[in-house]
Structure 1
Amino acid sequence: MNHQPIKFAGLLLFISIISAFCIANFVGADSSKNTSGYAWSENIGWVSFNNSSDGSSINYGVNIDSVTGNLSGHAWSENIGWVSFNRADAGNPPTAPFNGGSGPIAQYNKSTGEVIGWMRVLANGGGWDGWIKSYNITLDINGDWHGYAWSDLVVGWLSFNSAEGGGSSYKITSAGVVNQPPTVSGLTVSGQNYCSTPYHYFSWTYSDVDGDPQTKFDFQVDNNSDFSSLEVNRTINTSAVNQSVIVSVPNIANQLNYNTTYYWRVKVYDGETDSGWIEGSSFTTEKHQYPDVNFNWSPTQPDIDQETIFTDLAAVYGSTKSVWAWTFQDGNPATSGAQNPIVQFSSVGGKQITLEVTDSDGYTCSNNSMILQIQAELPNWQEK
């Protein structure tokens, strides 16, 4: 004859009687806990992890410390009574982990997302020590528990989520414990400074619901949409939310080429997790370099009203010059659209000259840094 079901039923009855005496005298529970909901066992039924779950007037709950990950507090079962996560009343676990005599008896590992360790039914007896051990318990991004705990007597398998345990909907949830990944938004890119040192400027907005700062970012640019042949690949440990990439000829590592469509993406980190890759809009660099504007004049030190010839020395790339726009301070004429104009100045001193060149593709650059010095004409002395 199989006496195991009779033994189990008797043991459960014994524990239920003990738990009935414990509930009135138990004072270690606390409702200020971040873990709530129900777990389920085919043998003992529901286990509540917070009085907010079952509506009890007795304050209790289970907590996961947001810094250390240590579990504490108590759960409740109407069949087996209090289930403790505290070493103070549970004692030392029978085997590893956490059987060293101090510290927590259960802990959440932020790196792996696992809950490892023990809990103990305080109304144990009848040959059962009351220990229940975690078995592949994990927390998802929402703080919902998944997996099981196990005890070879009374409890059997204890399921923390109906996603695995089946039956009616239930779960254990820990609020504010699992680090939420940062997010990236507002990705923008713009071409800058094509008339001198051209570059593209990339920026984004970093956000984190936990308030964690950005600790680093990955930044990639490629001329393939699948990012299979990276032109730019950077990992930078900073809270900065922007990057600049030079456009050059010839193209070299970590720089961009002209007349090329690029794709870019960024991944940000908060110290514990990352946002995943977020792509910005594709962009195309300009067809070729912008005009490199320069000029000279003759004579180099003209007199008042002396004809001065200005010579265009601008270089254009991949196109031809189409428009010249000269401006002469105190000059006659004051402006000119000729390539090499002749100008006279009617007063002495420094004169600012500006040349703006537009090529046949519509790219425009200017040079206004040159100062022409006009000197007074020396008197024409004659010997007698």
Structure 2
Amino acid sequence: MSSTAQKLQLNPASPENLLDPNPLYQVLRHNAPVYWSDAANAWFITRHDDVVACFHDPRLSAAREMFYEAQLQGMDLEAIRNFLEIAGRQMAMKDGAEHLRLRRQVSPSFSHQAIEVWRPVIRRIMDALVDRVRDWGRMDLVRELSYPLPQLVIAELLGIPAEDRELFQRWSQPIAEFSAPAAHSDRREVARRANTAMVELSRYLTRVIEERRQAPGKDVLSRMIQAQAAGGMSNEELVANAILLLFAGHTTTTDLISNAVYELLTHPDQLQKLREDRTLLPSAVEETIRFRPAVPNIFRIAKETFQLRGSTLRKGDLVFLVLAAANRDPEVFPDAERFDITRDHFHQKHVSFGLGAHSCVGAGVARRELEIALEVLLERMPHLRLEEGRLPELKCHHLTFRGFESLPVRW
């Protein structure tokens, strides 16, 4: 580690750096690309080539037990026992053959061909959300569009009855809060609420799955049930991974959409290019995902002690792969700090959806939702702009998620 970084006493989890992390990322990439933070009790990897290598390194585990243990230190684990048991069956918590076994039973439902079938569904949902607010002239884009859209899409993909979909908002929020708790939150209360939500959601999906066995459809849940017999996924694993799809497909895509709209509205030259040439939509999607990822950091656990750029990562260490820093590495992205929707997206190298075995299985759905959301807004709200006098409220209290709590707009 360089003396420059040592003197700065950098803390990636400080309120200042969470609010605006990019200056910190520049310093770390240049001075300490493999950086140990005493404040966060974790390593931070910031260069693109190192992050890519770490995604493929079998010495780094995706299992989250250690992370949860750190969050729950000093607590009675009985309060969160059910949550941990259910989460432990999810493919995101597995490595190697166990991860592959579970993922193989989910991934066919998220192939390019399978996702394209859902494009009209996503468009219908987005149009309905816009229909509801179009005469208002103003709204909080998070509350009215970017939050409900992914929730409704994933519920549709899973075949959840329309009358039950409001339940998922009640259940997903506590789970999200536990995964990324606010700095001054009551950890015991957050854990208790997350545990209750996980149990209720598990019971609900168990009932839905049994109904779907008797009357299968074309939805993702029915496909997972069909794959269950061949792959050996237990009923408990089926429920746990349906929960994973529901949660992962909701929280991050909500932030992706609000982040993208904010960047376009604050870069009017880029927005004008998109208005004039809709064929730029795919590259605009990739650029917003690169420039302002919904998940700026993803963590791994060192399974053994090893060296990386002269630093010793010890067995059990928490390692953050800083996706947002890798996405702005000037060695990979020319003029990396510039938001440019004409950037070559066919050869894009951003790491926002991860790489390797644990790359985001729902990345294709998230891309379609973001592309369709922007397309509908361009068509139906051509004068969309940030509302004067009402500042957006950032969601930046944790290393894991980054988006907006509210994004006031008008048209």
Q: Quick check: TM above 0.5?
A: no
Q: TM-score range by the shorter chain?
A: under 0.3
Higher strand share: 1
TM-score (normalised: structure 2): 0.21
- Higher-Rg structure is 1
> RCO greater where, 1 or 2, for CA within 8 Å and sep 6 or more?
2
Question: Which structure has greater helix proportion?
Answer: 2
TM-score (norm 1): 0.22
